[in-house]
Amino acid sequence: MYYNSILETIGNTPLVKLNDLADDLPGTILVKVEYFNPGQSVKDRIGLKMIEDAEEQGLIEPGGTIIEGTSGNTGMGLALAAVIKGYDCIFTTTDKQSKSKIDLLRALGAEVKVCPTDVEPDDPNSYYSVAQRLSEEIPNSYYPNQYDNPSNTQAHYETTGPEIWEQTEGNVTHYVAGMGTGGTVSGTSKYLKEQNDDIKTIGIDSDGSVYKKYFDTGEFDKDEIHPYLTEGIGEDIIPDNIDMDLLDEVIQVNDKDAFLTTRALASQEGLFVGGSCGAAVHGALEYARNNSFDEDDVMVIILPDSGTRYVSKIFNDEWMEEHGFLDS
Ligand code: PMP
């Protein structure tokens, strides 16, 4: 038995039970481990889907160029699909990103343009403006824009949602995912609630982001915005891919709680995952403890990526101490 290309190995990631970290709770807490994807994150699902939908809609022709502002998991997902399908990739990123992330994208043949961090989004040199400009200048190029592209949500509606439903044999009662572009939480929640409207969806936001207040009050409050270090979740905009009507609760998690839980996932569960995974598990356990989780309940938490990208940060004691997350 073999796969015709690496792209066929995307999805069908395992569900794993949390033992030690959830031993005070009745019921079953499961995590869906997305680092089993070939690009080591949940974003392989949307990289492939955004490109395939663009092909179907005639937005990109053979030999074309994919352009996106990303340094992270989405770049990896797009680059993987582009290698197999014969497209070029140009990614714009900021100079605060680590060199290893940029090297990783270059290893897959992508061109990476490094832009200054300290400029407004509408500055012509921002990574956002440069991506936009290149997509206008380069013929047969395609700018996926994961924030507003409906293929992002649709990828999760078609894959992540059905996988969770089948893997739990329809017994899932709670679904928990971090909120970045909103694609994962919204697309999966839509599918699960169509199967069983009683399923509760909990979105995980980062302290310093606008989502929580927007969910609670409907107000977009710029005063909520402050810098934070958890990568991949929280925003200072409301992208089209977030659908608050599909969420039952939004929980904010701060960097310290997120990172200490990330380390506990490695040391107590053998799950070597990234910082947004720690945030999701911290928020999920808080929700379960405060909402009379019972023995028939089955919670599924998405773990978006791997710990390898965070070795010099979350898994480095000096870095953790410098930021006040660990006592020296
Ligand atoms: N965690 C990580 C590490 C991510 O890269 C992302 C994507 N931004 C998310 C969580 C959130 O996923 P989504 O964009 O689908 O909301």
CB 31 within 8 A of CB 303: yes
> 54 and 26 in one domain?
no
Q: Tell me whether residue 205 is in a domain.
A: yes
Is a pLDDT exceeding 80 seen at residue 111? yes
Q: Tell me whether residue 147 is in a domain.
A: no
Angstrom CA distances, 249 to 86, 213, 324, stand at 42, 11, 29
Ligand 1, atom 5, lies closest to the CA of 232
Q: Tell me whether residue 317 is in a domain.
A: yes
Per-residue pLDDT, 188: 99
Q: Tell me whether residue 327 is in a domain.
A: no
Ligand 1 pocket: which of 31, 184, 273, 302 to mutate (most atoms <8 Å of CB)?
184
CB 271 within 8 A of CB 33: yes
Q: CB-based contacts of 206: which residues, under 8 Å, 6+ apart?
A: 228, 230, 233, 234, 252, 253, 254, 255, 258, 279
Rounded to the nearest angstrom, the distance between the alpha carbon of 276 and the centre of ligand 1 is 8
> 21 and 48 in one domain?
no
Q: Tell me whether residue 328 is in a domain.
A: no
pLDDT tier at 98, thresholds 50, 70, 90: confident
Last residue of a domain, one of 115, 142, 169: 142
Residue whose tokens read 């965070």: 310
Per-residue pLDDT, 16: 98
Is the ipTM higher than 0.90? The answer is yes
Number of domains comprising the chain:
2
Buried b (16+ CB within 10 A) or exposed e, 272-286: bbbbbbbbbbbbbbe
Rounded to the nearest angstrom, the distance between the alpha carbon of 104 and the centre of ligand 1 is 18
> 212 and 86 in one domain?
no
CB 144 within 8 A of CB 53: no
Q: What is the mean pLDDT of the chain?
A: 96
- Name every protein residue with a CB atom under 6 angstroms from any ligand 1 atom: 43, 72-73, 178-185, 231-233, 274, 276, 304-305
- Ligand 1 atom closest to 152 (CA): 15
Q: Tell me whether residue 234 is in a domain.
A: yes
> 70 and 184 in one domain?
no
Per-residue pLDDT, 72: 85
Per-residue pLDDT, 236: 87
Q: Tell me whether residue 326 is in a domain.
A: no
Helices (H), 16-159: 43-56, 73-85, 99-107, 127-137, 150-155
Share above pLDDT 70 across residues of the chain, in percent, rounded to a whole number: 100
Last residue of a domain, one of 142, 162, 186: 142
Q: What's 90's domain CATH number?
A: 3.40.50.1100
Nearest to 201 by CA among 178, 224, 223: 178
Spatial separation of the C-alpha atoms in residues 225 and 236, rounded to whole Å: 7
Nearest to 33 by CA among 16, 20, 19, 46: 16
> 60 and 113 in one domain?
yes
pLDDT tens per residue, range 148-202:
999 999 999 999 999 999 999 999 999 999 999 999 999 999 999 999 999 999 9
> 14 and 50 in one domain?
no
Parent domain of 215: 6-36+153-321
282 beta partners: none
Map residue 279 onto helix, strand or coil: helix
> 272 and 157 in one domain?
yes
Per-residue pLDDT, 2: 98
Rounded to the nearest angstrom, the distance between the alpha carbon of 67 and the centre of ligand 1 is 19
Section 57-84 average pLDDT:
94
pLDDT tens per residue, range 300-324:
999 999 999 899 999 999 999 999 9
Last residue of a domain, one of 142, 169, 195: 142
Section 260-281 average pLDDT:
98
Rounded to the nearest angstrom, the distance between the alpha carbon of 305 and the centre of ligand 1 is 9
pLDDT tens per residue, range 68-77:
988 689 999 9
> 30 and 11 in one domain?
yes
What DSSP line would sit under 182-241, residue for residue?
SHHHHHHHHHHHHH-TT-EEEEEEETT-SHHHHHHHS---GGG------SS---SS--TT
Please identify every residue annotated as catalytic.
43
Spatial separation of the C-alpha atoms in residues 123 and 115, rounded to whole Å: 11
pLDDT tens per residue, range 19-55:
999 999 999 999 999 999 999 999 999 999 999 999 9
Section 233-240 average pLDDT:
92
> 95 and 19 in one domain?
no
> 266 and 158 in one domain?
yes
Q: Tell me whether residue 1 is in a domain.
A: no
Is a pLDDT exceeding 90 seen at residue 259? yes
Cα-Cα-Cα-Cα dihedral sign, residues 107, 318, 43, 267: positive
Map residue 168 onto helix, strand or coil: coil
Per-residue pLDDT, 97: 74
Per-residue pLDDT, 122: 84
**pTM for this structure?**
0.96
- Ligand 1 atom closest to 276 (CA): 1
Is a pLDDT exceeding 90 seen at residue 120? no
> 110 and 185 in one domain?
no
> 158 and 135 in one domain?
no
pLDDT tier at 95, thresholds 50, 70, 90: confident
pLDDT tens per residue, range 123-142:
999 988 999 999 999 999 99
Per-residue pLDDT, 94: 85
Per-residue pLDDT, 96: 74
